[in-house]
């Protein structure tokens, strides 16, 4: 296992939080705190804050992402945003398949795969979320659940395209609940995902893929999680809404 072969990425998922004024305040506070980061720093904001985030981060080391995109280029999909629209704005990253999308908005492995395809074709970097529910963990089918999600989302994705995909392992029971997977639990699943990528794409591609952990990661528990051999960064919800907390996680990933 060689972590040096892959980029560490700390990405904030703001979810449906922050109006424009609040976004400006948060980004302005964050930029100086993370300017020496030894890892990649991404903030994924609501659509309404993307232009503000892009303008404020211009020329900085902080990249901007969206929280979802539709699979079609354009058309009769009221309320949706396409990948080319994001690309045109200057957005670099997009989260796809977040468990809240799966849970509340009918996202399936099939629609996740279509969104991944659209994002790749538009030249966006994808943060693909996978994770088991508490029920699935208790039924001892975590491995199978994650394997199906990964295989279905990556159906048709080539080894070349895989370089533009980060996988975020996010146990559903740990998101926004304050319950974090232990360092070992999180690493075990990340390792399993890497082994699966090895079978699908070969060892070199698997070793080069960034696999994050997400689920109540915070300033206190980040160092332990990020020290694990298969955890290459984090997708951060709640703690990304406070600049010092997010910056502390970035610092832990920079070591
Ligand atoms: C997330 O939204 O992806 C997430 C991990 O949230 P939290 O950090 O709040 O659990």
**Catalytic site positions:** 98, 170
Any atom of ligand 1 within 6 Å of the Cβ of 238:
yes
> pLDDT (tens digit, 9 = 90+) per residue, 105-156?
999 999 999 999 999 999 999 999 999 999 999 999 999 999 999 999 999 9
**110/116 Cα distance (integer angstroms):** 10
Tell me, what's the pLDDT at 93? 98
Instruction: Kindly give the distance from the C-alpha atom of residue 174 to the centroid of ligand 1, in angstroms, as a whole number.
Output: 8
CA 76 to centroid of ligand 1, rounded, Å:
31
Residue 4 confidence (pLDDT) = 77
Which of 172, 212, 217, 231 has most ligand 1 atoms within 8 Å of its beta carbon, as the pocket-test mutant? 217
Which has the closest alpha carbon to 111: 61, 76, 155, 172?
155
Phi, psi of 114 (to 5 degrees): -70, -35
pTM listed for this prediction: 0.97
């Amino acid at each position: 296992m060689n972590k040096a072969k892959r980029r560490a990425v700390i990405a904030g998922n703001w979810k449906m939080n922050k109006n424009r004024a609040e976004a400006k305040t948060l980004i302005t506070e964050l930029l100086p705190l993370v300017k020496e980061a030894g890892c990649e720093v991404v903030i994924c904001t609501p659509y309404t804050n993307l232009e503000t985030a892009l303008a404020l981060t211009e020329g900085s080391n902080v990249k901007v992402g969206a929280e979802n995109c539709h699979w079609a280029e354009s058309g009769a999909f009221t309320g949706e945003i396409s990948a080319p629209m994001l690309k045109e704005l200057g957005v670099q990253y997009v989260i796809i398949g977040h468990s809240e999308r799966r849970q509340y908005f009918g996202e399936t492995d099939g629609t996740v795969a279509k969104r991944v395809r659209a994002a790749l074709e538009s030249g966006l970097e994808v943060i693909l979320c996978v994770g088991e529910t508490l029920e699935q963990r208790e039924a001892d089918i975590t491995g199978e659940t994650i394997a199906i999600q990964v295989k279905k989302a990556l159906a048709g994705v080539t080894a070349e395209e895989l370089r533009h995909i980060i996988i975020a392992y996010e146990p559903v029971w740990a998101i926004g609940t304050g319950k974090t997977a232990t360092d070992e639990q999180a690493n075990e699943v990340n390792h399993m995902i890497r082994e699966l990528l090895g079978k699908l794409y070969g060892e070199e591609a698997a070793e080069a893929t960034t696999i994050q952990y997400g689920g109540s990661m915070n300033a206190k528990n980040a160092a332990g999680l990020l020290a694990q051999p298969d955890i290459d960064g984090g997708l951060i919800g709640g703690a990304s809404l406070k600049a010092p907390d997010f910056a502390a996680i970035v610092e832990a990933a920079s070591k």
